[in-house]
Amino acid sequence: MKGKINKIKILSLAVFSVTAIILLSFIFYNNNKKKQAPAAEKKLILGFSQIGSESVWRTRNTQSIFEAAAENDIQILFDDAQQKQENQLKAIRSFIVYQVDVIAFVPIVEDGWDNVLQEAKDAGIPVIVVDRKIKANQSMYAGFIGENGVEEGRRAARYLVNKCRNTEGPVNIFEITGTENSSIVDDRASGFREIINTDSKFRIIHSENGDFLRSRGREIGDMLLASNVLENGNTTNTIYYNKQKIDVIFSHNDSMTLGFLDSMEAHKINPKGYGTIIISIDAEQESIDALVNGKLNCVVECNPNHGQMLMQLVKQVAKGETIPRITYNFETVFTEDDNFSKYDPRGY
């Protein structure tokens, strides 16, 4: 009897030991498997503050960034600042609280970013500046991706200098600028002046802020062209500002230029026989169409497709890599002298 009991005890012990061994091996195997399996890559989160949707160009710029984020499997936390710096500051602060991996923003103006950049730096979140530049210490952000505004201004002016090479002068220029205190206006204005100042016959007789808006371009046109409608209902093609004949309209973006053309149409002034040189920046499809139809003379491209380049930079900074201080996008110039049949659809 005692022997039988001992046998049962030994048997139970054996069963228990085997079960324990199986269980431990299972746990060990699973732990090991966890260690060996490649960790699933965490999706990067990009906080992106856009300034708004003041132009068709801007809408394409936002689209390009969303498309590229999807293609690169990057999640975007998006904020539309509705043209207000205070909204951008709030958005960037909320990205910091959310602990996004990278922050990108289009600064509506150049100044006033130091504190929020310091906060992002303290939180260890790299920041990329997009489209417009800022006045801040370079150590406060990882880098800039966007257009070369100074070169855009130079290109507009080079076209003009060449166009007027046989004109005696003076050549009176009416400038329509965009958002005040934005780097893009400063850059385009300085590039333009750098070139025209080489010949004293070029004179900027007035600069008017059109806020990059089509509605403002229309208003500025209405202001200038009101006196072009004569008492007998006919129109005159020569336009004046403060009794000075305007020879050139240099507009800092297509929206304002197209608004100006809307005004011309409303005043029954045919831009073709108009005699005033019109130069624009952006190269939206509608302004390229206007160029092809002889309503504009020159359109300097500002490329809104920043998305793919931005996402490459986002991936690099997220890995802790250093990126170039400045990355410029490719841009060209379209003029009345081009072979229009070679133009591809602009896509915006």
187 binding ligand AHR? (CB under 6 A): no
Report how far residue 214's alpha carbon sits from residue 327's, in angstroms, rounded to the nearest whole number: 29
247 binding ligand AHR? (CB under 6 A): no
Residue 146 Cβ, how far from ligand AHR at the closest point, in Å?
A: 8
251 binding ligand AHR? (CB under 6 A): no
Among residue numbers 116 through 145, which ones bind ligand AHR (CB under 6 A)?
A: 131-132
260 binding ligand AHR? (CB under 6 A): no
Contacts of 290 (CB under 8 A, 6+ apart): 257, 258, 261, 271, 296
Residue of 54, 79, 187, 211 that binds ligand AHR (CB under 6 A): 54
Residue of 302, 310, 314, 317 that binds ligand AHR (CB under 6 A): 302
Q: CA end-to-end span of the chain, whole Å?
A: 95
55 binding ligand AHR? (CB under 6 A): yes
Report how far residue 57's alpha carbon sits from residue 283's, in angstroms, rounded to the nearest whole number: 8
Report how far residue 262's alpha carbon sits from residue 267's, in angstroms, rounded to the nearest whole number: 9
Report how far residue 346's alpha carbon sits from residue 342's, in angstroms, rounded to the nearest whole number: 12
184 binding ligand AHR? (CB under 6 A): yes
Total of chain residues touching ligand AHR, rule CB under 6 A = 13
Residue 251 Cβ, how far from ligand AHR at the closest point, in Å?
A: 10
175 binding ligand AHR? (CB under 6 A): no
Asked if 195 contacts 157 with a C-beta cutoff of 8 angstroms, the reply is yes
Residue of 85, 80, 54 lying closest to 215 (CA atoms): 54
49 binding ligand AHR? (CB under 6 A): no
**Phi, psi for residue 300 in degrees, rounded to 5:** -90, 130
Q: Identify which of residues 76 and 281 has a Cβ nearer to ligand AHR in the complex.
A: 281
Which residues of this protein are in contact with ligand AHR, per CB under 6 A? 54-55, 57-58, 131-132, 184, 212, 253, 255, 281-282, 302
